Structure 1
Amino acid sequence: MDVRSLAFRTDLALLRWGGSQIEDHGSYLVVRTPGNPTFHWGNFTLLARPPAPADMDELLAASDARFPDSRHRTFGVDGVHDQSADLAPLVRAGLALNRGAVMTAQAVHEPPRPDRTAQYRPLVTDDDWAQRVALAVACNDEISPPEYLVFAHRKAAYERGLVEAGHGAWWGAFVDGRLASAMGLFRASPGLARFQSVQTHPDLRGRGLAGTLVHRVSQYGFAELDAGTLVMVADPDYSAIRVYRSVGFTDSEHQSQVEQFDRYA
């Protein structure tokens, strides 16, 4: 399957680096991450095109058969345009639409209000990565804390593995020794690097930390990862997208996904 979406191409590249299994069935891809089975976007089906309404039951049954132990259903749809209307049948079947704004930058500049107080550096120590898990838990409001903590530890191990394999780095903004904001940037292919999981602690938002960190990490990507283009996927309806635009990222494509957190609910 020839994937057109810049977002999904970079997603798949990083999943491969992290050890995920990707099966090509021609009109769809099946992605599995055995080390983290509750990772929604590490265990999903990527469709070449939106499904026809008549195919809904077969599509859902096939997904359940592929992931028999999973409580979630996740589908990506390849393409570069907003496909919300075409995915309405899946929404009516109980899945939630997840639209992404695919943003790119070939150069960046400081945000309007850069922060000069935090320490900006890559995560290195065991304590850094433990704080990475704690930050992810503090930013999560969708899954119960005990269940999410298991996922967060697995996800951090995957991220640290990418770093230690030389594919990129996970950076943080530290305020008084506390990890306040964090994000990853990894080489997806020659000249192309992808941001991952931009998060800022709820108690420390609005201080310019994320914008300053995006700027610093972007400079790292251009200089150390030999990237000519940086890729960021953001929620078009969330205020953080203004932060990315403020340092030079522009909207390039749309990413279309649908998901159901608990298929038994």
Structure 2
Amino acid sequence: MAHLLDNIFWHSLSGAQACFATGETNARRYAKGFSPILGFADAEHPDFDAITSYCEPGVNFYCAGWTGAMPAGWQLHAEITMYRMVWDGDMPPEDVDFKPRRLDADNLQDAQQAMALAQLTNPGPFGVRTIALGEYLGCFDDDRLIAMAGERSYAPPYREVSGVCTHPDFQGKGLAKRLMHQIIRRQLLAKEIPFLHVMTGNTAAHELYLRMGFRDYCETAVRVVGRCE
């Protein structure tokens, strides 16, 4: 029997997060403004005909688990591999002295600052509305967002830890790890199972996540594709 994590984006887009998605029976995407991710009912044989009319030219979309020939009308921009990791550790300790602020998806400044930080640090596909997909926590220097971590895909009980990034001027202080611990604690207390993605070439992050308590679930292809203009 297939596991939810084997096709997590589809199960998220067609299930608990269908309210954030658009598409048809066999293919869906996060709606405009959210992370540009595609999900297919059959990830190994994606039905691009069903999603083409929902995807605007000039936008790079991410899809996982597929390495077949490109369909007509689409082009391949990048192909890499990533680890899908699932939590296998203990409850992170409570960090009573750490007081990040929850980012408000209805606050334009929060959304714009999150988007700007993601564009600067490239933690993965991100959109100006992405922080509405779950809880996002941020660290601030005065009014400037300098680090964040949050939640993206969700197919109960699996919830993704995502958007983890720190401004280059503030790296090396452990902010991202502390933010992740708070997100993971929230998920575990809610009886959810944390998981995340990390590119196979990002050895430092992969090793950090292993030490934190994640384990590799699988290694999968990830492609960046777009409609031909």
Q: Larger Cα Rg: Structure 1 or Structure 2?
A: 1
Residues 63 and 247 of structure 1, relative CA distance in 2, 3 Å threshold: same
Q: Percent of aligned positions with the same letter in both sequences?
A: 17
- Residue in 2 aligned with 1:48? 42
- Residue in 2 aligned with 1:21? 22
| Deviation (angstroms), 1:103 | 0.7
- Residue in 2 aligned with 1:130? 109
8 Å contact 1:118–1:175 — kept in the other structure? no
Q: Structure 2 CA distance, aligned partners of 1:47 and 1:179? A: 37
Q: Structure 2 CA distance, aligned partners of 1:48 and 1:262? A: 20
Residue ranges of structure 2 left out of the alignment (5+ in a row): none
TM-score (norm: length of structure 1): 0.63
Q: CA RMSD in A?
A: 4.0
Aligned pair partner of 1:97 in 61, 79, 88: 79
Q: Structure 1 CA distance, aligned partners of 2:157 and 2:200? A: 25
Residues 51 and 219 of structure 1, relative CA distance in 2, 3 Å threshold: closer
Residues 69 and 246 of structure 1, relative CA distance in 2, 3 Å threshold: same
Q: Structure 1 CA distance, aligned partners of 2:41 and 2:153? A: 24
Residues 132 and 108 of structure 1, relative CA distance in 2, 3 Å threshold: farther
Residue ranges of structure 1 left out of the alignment (5+ in a row): 53-58, 144-150, 163-167
| Deviation (angstroms), 1:105 | 0.7
| Deviation (angstroms), 1:141 | 5.3
Alignment partner of 1:188 is 2:154: yes
| Deviation (angstroms), 1:137 | 1.4
State the Cα deviation string for residues 119-165 of structure 1 (Å, max 9, x = none): 324224966x624422431331599xxxxxxx843x24xx33x4xxx
State the Cα deviation string for residues 41-98 of structure 1 (Å, max 9, x = none): 1xx352625459xxxxxx77x47853464224646355xxxx6xx44x44xx644114
8 Å contact 2:12–2:153 — kept in the other structure? no
Q: Structure 1 CA distance, aligned partners of 2:30 and 2:212? A: 33
Which structure's residues are more often strand, by fraction?
A: 2
Which structure's residues are more often helix, by fraction?
A: 1
Residues matched between the structures, number: 219
Q: Matches of residues 14-93 of structure 1 in structure 2 within 5 Å?
A: 15-18=17-20, 20-24=21-25, 29-36=26-33, 39-41=35-37, 44=38, 46=40, 48=42, 50=44, 62=49, 65-67=52-54, 69-72=56-59, 74=61, 76-78=63-65, 86-87=67-68, 89-90=69-70
Q: Matches of residues 1-265 of structure 1 in structure 2 within 5 Å?
A: 5=6, 7-9=8-10, 11-12=12-13, 13=15, 15-18=17-20, 20-24=21-25, 29-36=26-33, 39-41=35-37, 44=38, 46=40, 48=42, 50=44, 62=49, 65-67=52-54, 69-72=56-59, 74=61, 76-78=63-65, 86-87=67-68, 89-90=69-70, 94-108=76-90, 119-124=99-104, 130-140=109-119, 152-153=127-128, 155-156=129-130, 159-160=131-132, 162=133, 168-185=134-151, 188-223=154-189, 225-227=190-192, 229-238=193-202, 239-261=204-226, 263-264=228-229
8 Å contact 2:60–2:225 — kept in the other structure? yes
8 Å contact 2:56–2:227 — kept in the other structure? no
